[in-house]
């Protein structure tokens, strides 16, 4: 059987899709990558929060599956809308990579760090590291090159990106004590609804625990009423039959923030995450988010 995999053309997206292809090939499946250029890849002259939220990097890739140009789409789960596109279903969330954010260091830099995420920027400000910020877009290699070319002191990125691209040993970096994006480090694989043969193959890549955590985190973000550009983060941890969450909402300036924790049975993960979001909203988070749209 041959499975065509729809993917963005960035080096990270290709690395993720090639990993999926290699896992399928272990099952004796022939694979082919179908590269799709998305709106998020085209509009590089504006910050992400100005041009759209979830779906910015996924809609065109999913459309290729709907139009039968491909059989499965591979996404960074944090970029995916919570609800599936009509005609598509979530086929698997494979084992998750690191969800942590890190600061890649450039020694003897100019006191500026590259950071294109409101969530990251708001929380890094709260760490009082003393850096100024510069907006940055593009794939991970482009951003790392900008850091060096412009003499920045560092660049804030997802550790999963460095690991998946084999760059973790090429740069010095430190883990930041900030809350990651919902679903960060996880992949989401979408397939056409009702195609049982493909569903069985793709479903074999699913990690039940990672899928439960990532899905619950996405429900947290949905309950806050925002997309991936919202300055909100959540971290989950599974221990035995229990799951614990720590989530937060932050003002863009980093001055204000509401952080709360929630834990309970993993069977109730999605409900717990939604309850956590509601507690954050009622505890001052709603006021922070309201100021963003005024």
With cut-offs at 50, 70 and 90, classify the pLDDT of residue 81: confident
User: What's the rounded Cα separation, in Å, for the pair 114 and 195?
Assistant: 43
Q: In the predicted model, what is the mean pLDDT of the chain?
A: 92
With cut-offs at 50, 70 and 90, classify the pLDDT of residue 230: confident
Tell me the pLDDT tens digit for each residue of 40-73.
554 444 454 444 455 567 889 999 999 999 999 9
Here the tokens at position 174 are 């430190």
Residues taking part in catalysis:
78-79, 119-120, 137, 143, 228
- Going along 77-165, which residue ranges are E strands? 88-92, 101-105, 112-114, 132-134, 154-158
Is the distance from CB of 105 to CB of 175 less than 8 angstroms?
no
Give burial (CB, 10 Å; 0-12/13-18/19+) of 29. Answer: middle
User: What's the rounded Cα separation, in Å, for the pair 223 and 53?
Assistant: 15
With cut-offs at 50, 70 and 90, classify the pLDDT of residue 138: confident
- For residue 205, the surrounding DSSP H or E stretch is none
Q: Residue 67 carries which DSSP code? A: T
- Segment 233-242 shows an average pLDDT of 97
- Segment 171-181 shows an average pLDDT of 97
- Residue (of 86, 80, 64) closest to 9 by Cα position: 64
* pLDDT at residue 108, as a whole number: 87
Here the tokens at position 65 are 């599956």
Tell me the pLDDT tens digit for each residue of 185-201.
999 999 999 999 999 99
pTM for the predicted model, two decimal places: 0.90
With cut-offs at 50, 70 and 90, classify the pLDDT of residue 84: confident
pLDDT at 293 over 80: no
Is the distance from CB of 230 to CB of 221 less than 8 angstroms?
yes
Helix ranges (H only) for the chain are: 11-25, 39-42, 48-51, 59-66, 118-126, 140-149, 159-164, 196-203, 208-224, 269-280, 286-292
* pLDDT at residue 83, as a whole number: 75
């Amino acid at each position: 059987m041959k499975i065509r995999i729809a993917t963005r053309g960035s080096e990270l997206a290709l690395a993720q899709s090639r990993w999926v292809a290699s896992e399928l090939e272990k099952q004796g499946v022939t694979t082919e990558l179908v590269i799709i250029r998305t709106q998020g890849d085209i509009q590089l002259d504006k910050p992400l929060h100005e041009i759209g939220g979830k779906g910015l990097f996924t809609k065109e890739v999913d459309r290729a599956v709907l139009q039968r140009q491909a059989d499965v789409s591979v996404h960074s789960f944090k970029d995916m809308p919570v609800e599936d596109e009509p005609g598509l279903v979530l086929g698997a969330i494979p084992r998750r990579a690191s969800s942590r954010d890190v600061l890649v260091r450039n020694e003897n830099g100019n006191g500026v760090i590259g950071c294109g995420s409101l969530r990251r920027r708001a929380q890094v400000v709260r760490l009082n590291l003393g850096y100024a910020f510069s907006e940055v877009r593009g794939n991970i290699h482009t951003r790392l090159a900008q850091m060096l070319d412009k003499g920045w002191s560092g660049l804030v990125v997802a550790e999963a990106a460095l690991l998946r691209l084999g760059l973790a040993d090429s740069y010095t970096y430190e883990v930041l004590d900030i809350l990651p994006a919902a679903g960060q480090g996880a992949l989401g694989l979408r397939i056409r609804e009702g195609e049982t043969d493909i569903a069985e193959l793709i479903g074999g890549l699913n990690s039940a625990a990672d899928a439960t955590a990532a899905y619950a985190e996405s429900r947290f973000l949905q309950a806050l009423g925002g997309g991936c550009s919202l300055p909100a983060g959540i971290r989950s941890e599974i221990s035995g039959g229990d799951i614990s969450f720590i989530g937060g909402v932050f003002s863009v300036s980093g001055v204000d923030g509401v952080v709360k924790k929630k834990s309970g049975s993993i069977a109730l993960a999605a409900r717990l995450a939604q309850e956590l979001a509601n507690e954050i909203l009622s505890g001052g988070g709603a006021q922070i988010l309201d100021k963003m749209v005024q």
